[in-house]
Structures are given as structure tokens and as C-alpha cells.
Amino acid sequence: MIKFIKIAPYDTGKLRSDSFEYAQALLSQTINPPAIEIGSLILPEADIIFCSPLKRAQQSAAKSLSPEIVTIDQLAEIRFDISMFTNSDQYQKFGSSVIRQAFVKAFIKNGLEQPLQDLESETEHLLDLLNMNNQNVIAISHSFRMKVIEAYILSNKQLFREPTLIKNFINTDTKLYEFKTGFSLVYN
């Protein structure tokens, strides 16, 4: 069983005067803010925890009782430049829904910082790595990464061949996952 859990809360920049620029820096990973609640994830027992290498993800797992925590790049947030698909005025007017809309557009147009073909290979490799026979595995990651993994599985691995399928899995009006929540799967 693999349990994907979104990181603990961190400063998302909503209250900052430069909130669009801050969001842009987060999504391009030019900044790496800490978790607000270090070690605040209450994790179920696991044989191993895999974690995004970003500071806020590692700090989310800090007090885990797992025998091993392994950081892997394939759990980092998916990078993209939101300024290619929206602007500060739209962000100020509509909030985070504009970022989700931008991600959907970027995904469909193959406009992420990583080509979809590479993202598919990375997702397959990640799932193979996490699929540790009869072990309980936890993967701590970020919203867009988790949603792409979930959509890939639920689309019977067709997501990258038909990128418009992402629209079926992302409701741009609501958060993808609340902090410290996620989904579980058995992957074969």
C-alpha cells in the first residue's frame, strides 16, 4: 500500500503584497520556504517514507517514527512558470484558482518546465520505486505532483498520451488537497 500525503502548512504568500511573484517563485522553486509546523504530520506506521527534497516536505516528516526517510527528486513539486499562463491582476482577482487553471493549461500545452514524456517516465519510475511488495510506504509530496500521479493511475496510464484528461481530475475552483491529506493506492 502506498499512501500519498501532502506536506504540512507553509507560507503560501497569500497575505504578501507581492503574492503573485511569491507564488511564481514557489512554483519555479527559486525559493524553498520552511514548513510552519515542523514535524506536524501524524503519519501512520510505515516501513519506509519517501519524501520530496524540498525543505517544507522534509520538515513535515521530521518527527516520523519510520525506520527510514528517503528523499527523492520525483516527489518534488512540478515546476512551471505561471507568468506564461496568467498574470498578477488575474491572480489578485481570482486567487489560487488561477494557478490551478495555469497548471491545467501548461500541462495540456506541454508547457511545464519538464516535457510530458519525461514526466511520464519519471512517474512510472517513481511508482515502481514506491511499489515495495507487501510494505507500507508513505510518500510526502506536493499538490500538483500528487494530482498528476493520481490522474495517471485513474486514467489507466493514459494521462500523458491524452493530456486534456487532466481536466477530469483538477477542479480549478477548489484546492487539490488540504495540507496533511492525500490518497492511498495499491499499484501493480
Residue 129 in 3-state DSSP? helix
Q: Residue 65: which pLDDT band, with cuts at 50, 70 and 90?
A: low
Whole-angstrom distance, CA of residue 107 vs CA of residue 155: 15
Looking at the chain, the whole-number percentage of residues with pLDDT higher than 90 is: 64
The whole model's pTM is what? 0.92
- Give the C-alpha separation, 49 to 70, whole Å: 6
Highest mean pLDDT among 24-38, 66-80, 110-124: 110-124
C-alpha cell at 74: 520525483
- pLDDT, residue 140, reads 94
Cα separation, 162 vs 148, in Å, equals 13
62 versus 76: which is more confidently predicted? 76
Between vectors from CA 35 to CA 60 and to CA 71, what angle results, nearest 5°?
45
- Listing from the earlier edge strand, what are the strands of the sheet with 137-141? 69-71, 48-51, 137-141, 2-6, 182-185
Phi, psi of 47 (to 5 degrees): -75, -30
Residue 13 has pLDDT above 90, yes or no: no
Q: Are 6 and 143 in contact (CB under 8 A)?
A: yes
